[in-house]
Structure 1
C-alpha cells in the first residue's frame, strides 16, 4: 500500500527507528494517533501503547481509553494507561491545564519507555502541527530556531514524530478510507486555547488567500531549517577559531579577533552562553578601555583582560572546607589535597607542595576562596601584602583568583596561597621539629 511505503520511507530517511527497535506509541484515541498506531502495526514494528487519561472530560475521557484499549486487545498489543489528576497538578504548579497535561504525559512516557526497554516514544504530530507551531512562535517573538517548526527528532530527545510527512486533511481521508476507529476530542474545537485559535480561525483566513497555504508553509519551514543549518555551520567554525579553551568551562577570545566581528556575528557566536545584544554592545564599546570590567548573562561571565576577553561559567558559591589533624585527604573544587605530618625537614621545591612548621599550625585549618581584605606575608618578605595586590602583580585576573585555593590557619592567618606562595610565618626554621606537608593536585575523575 502506497501510504505504508511513504511511512516507511519517511522513518528510514529521518532515521527515527529501525525494524528491530521496540517503540512506545502515544495514543490518545484521536484520528492522528490512531493512524500512527495502525501504520506501525501494519508495518510490523514492535510496539506498545501508552494512553493518558487526564480525567478532564468525564465519560468522553473514559470512552477514549476504551477505544484504544479495544484496539490493543484486538491486535494483541501491550497496553498501558495512567490516570492523572491534571487539575490539581496545574493548580499546585500554577500552570495552565494544557501545560500540566504536557508535563504529566511526557514525564510518564519517558518513565514507561525506560521501564519497558523501548527505543523511542512515537507521537502523532503532523505538518499542520508544525505550521501552527511556527505561527505561534511568531506571535510571541522568535528567531530562525523558532521558525523550524517541529523536527522529526531532536538529538537530546527520545521522542520521534513519524507523521510529519502528512497534512491533517490527508490523515482524515486515510482514516475514513481505511475504516480506522477514532474519537474526536471536543476540546479541540474550542478556540479559547491559543493553538486552537490558530488552527480554527487564523489558518483558514490564510487559506482564503491561498488554498495551498499549509503546503507553502511546509516548504518555508524547510528553507528556514536549511538557513539555520548554514548559520549553525558558519558560527560553529567561527566559535572554534576564536574561542580558545583555557580550562574547565572557561575560554578566552583575543581582543584583536573580537574587533573583526560584526555585532551579529558576536551575538550568534555567544548565543549558547545567554548574552543579550545590549550587553555585548557594551563589551564592544569598552574593548580599548581599562581591564577588569565584567559582563554577565544568567550563567556565564565575560571579563576583559589585557589582550583578551575571558568567558567562564559562573562558579557556584563554594564554602570553605575545614581540615582536622586526623585528615589525610580533602577535596575542594577541582583540587585534591593530601596531608602528612613528618620529621623530614628536607625542603622540596615544587609549587604544588607546601611544607609548614607544624608548631605554628592551629586546627582546624580551612581551604577557601580569596576574600576581600585578605593579607599575608609572602615568603622572603618582611611586611604584609594584600592578596588582591599580589594577584594583580601576578597578573591573575578576577575570574582566576576566585579559583585559587587559600589555606588558612585556625587563628585566621593565611598559610599558603596554593600553587603560588607560602607565608613567611609558616616556613621551616632551624628549630622546626615536625613538618606538615601539603600536596595539591588537580582532581582526577
Structure 2
C-alpha cells in the first residue's frame, strides 16, 4: 500500500510534499495508518486530536494513545477538549453534527493560527460509498451523489481511493496499533447500519463494488461539470444585478429553459430553501409573494425574483441619538453618527436651503428627546412635507415603487416616536423650518 499511496500523492497531491500539514487523528485505524504513511514519506506534519468527552474513560484513553503516537513518530500533537453534548443542546443539533462542527471549526482555527497549509483527514473509499448511500436514502440532488471531494479548500483526503480492507491489511503487516471505537459497532447510527448490514450484501453481489462505484462517481462528476456549465450560462443571462444585500434574477430566463424547477433548485439550493414547488410557483405569482428559508428570502417583484438575506437581527436594531448628538451607544464625533446605511451628519445651518433626498433642514425646537434611528415598521405613519394629511409609510414606499429589498432597508429618524425623516427619501411636514424658526438643524446622509 505504501507504494500505491506514494504514487497517488505524486499524481494527485504533489503539493503536499512541500507543505506544512496537520492530520486529523482520532486514534482509529484509518487516521493512524494515514499518520504512519505520511511519516514514511517524510512529510512535515503534526497531529490534531479532538476529545469530545462522549465515552468517558475511553475518550481519555484515545487522547493518551494519540499523545503516545506523537512521541513515537516524533511529531507535535495538539489536543482540544469539547463539551459536545452541551454544544448539541445549545445549537439544537445531533451529537454527530455537533462533533463535526466542533471538529472542523477547530481544525480551521488551528491551521490559520499556526500556518498549516493543509488539513488531512483519513476518509477512504468505503466512507465515500457510505456517504453516497446516506445521501441516496435521504433524497438528494446530483451534488449529493458525486462523493466526498478529495480536496476541498485546504482539506485534503489522500486515502480516498483506498478501501478499508487495504488499510487494515497494511496496519496488520506493519504491526501498527490503533484504538477501536466501540460506538462504530452500534446500529443506532445510519452509517453503521449501512456499513454492517447493507454494504456487505452489495459486496457479495459484486466483489468489485468499490471499483464499480469509483467509475460511477467519475461519470456523475462528469455530468455535474456539464450541469455546472449549463447553470452558469443561465445564471449569466438571468442575473440582472447584485450587491452585498441582494441578487435580482430575470424570471423570463427561467421560463425559457425546458425544466425551470431543476434550474431553480440548482440556483438556490445553497440558500436553505426546501419547498421547491413554492419556489417554482413564484414565477407566476403576484408581486410581493415570497418564500423563505432559515436565512434567506426569495421575493417575486414584477418580472424579477429578488434573493435577500433574512434580517431577523436587523429588524430589531435601533440607534438612539440625543439632540446634542452625543451618546455612547453610537460612534459620534463632531456631529457624525455611524449607521448601517452610512454616516449621518448633524450641523447647525445659518440659512434654509431646499430639502433633498439625502439632506433635510428641520426646526430644532420642534424636536424632543429621545431621537431614534430605526427600520420602519408596519403601522408607522408620517406627514410627508408639503402635504396636509398623514400617510402610512408602507403606502408611501409602495407608491414610490420601491423593490422589496429597498423597502426592507428603509430607515426612519424619529422624535418621541414621531417620524422626522424617512431617511434618504422624504422629510416630515411637522418639523419643517418656518418664519418663526430660531435654530435650523441640517441633517445629511452620506
Q: 1:409 aligns with which of 407, 415, 419?
A: 415
Q: Which runs of 5+ in 1 are unaligned?
A: none
Q: Normalising by the residue count of structure 2, what TM-score does the alignment of the two structures yield?
A: 0.84
Alignment partners' CA distance in 1, 2:80 and 2:64: 13
SS of equivalent to 1:19: helix
Asked if 1:5 is matched to 2:6, the reply is yes
Q: Is the 8 A contact 1:90 1:97 kept in 2?
A: yes
Residue-pair matches, total: 431
1:224-245 CA-to-partner distances (Å, cap 9, x unmatched) read: 2232232223223322321222
Asked if 1:360 is matched to 2:356, the reply is no
TM-superposed deviation, 1:435: 0.8
Give the aligned partner of residue 212 of structure 1: 208
1:7-65 CA-to-partner distances (Å, cap 9, x unmatched) read: 4225526xxx5333221223334332232112211211111123455677778667655
Q: Normalising by the residue count of structure 1, what TM-score does the alignment of the two structures yield?
A: 0.84
Q: Is the 8 A contact 2:19 2:117 kept in 1?
A: yes
1:401-429 CA-to-partner distances (Å, cap 9, x unmatched) read: 2322222233x433222222222333332
Alignment partners' CA distance in 1, 2:244 and 2:317: 20
Q: Is the 8 A contact 1:8 1:43 kept in 2?
A: no
TM-superposed deviation, 1:143: 1.9
Closer, same or farther: CA 208–338 of 1 in aligned 2, 3 Å:
same
Give the aligned partner of residue 159 of structure 1: 155
Alignment partners' CA distance in 2, 1:329 and 1:47: 51
Give the aligned partner of residue 341 of structure 1: 348
Alignment partners' CA distance in 1, 2:92 and 2:434: 66
Alignment partners' CA distance in 2, 1:35 and 1:401: 57
TM-superposed deviation, 1:210: 1.2
Q: Which runs of 5+ in 2 are unaligned?
A: 326-334
TM-superposed deviation, 1:339: 0.7
Q: How does 1:394-433 map to 2 (within 5 A)?
A: 394-410=400-416, 412-433=417-438
Give the aligned partner of residue 49 of structure 1: 47
Q: 1:332 aligns with which of 323, 330, 339?
A: 339
Q: Is the 8 A contact 1:10 1:162 kept in 2?
A: no
Give the aligned partner of residue 245 of structure 2: 249
Give the aligned partner of residue 331 of structure 2: none
Q: How does 1:258-277 map to 2 (within 5 A)?
A: 258-261=254-257, 262-275=260-273, 276-277=275-276
Give the aligned partner of residue 311 of structure 2: 315
Q: Which moved more, 1:89-98 or 1:23-32?
A: 89-98
Closer, same or farther: CA 309–110 of 1 in aligned 2, 3 Å:
closer
| TM-align CA RMSD | 3.2
Q: 1:371 aligns with which of 368, 371, 377?
A: 377
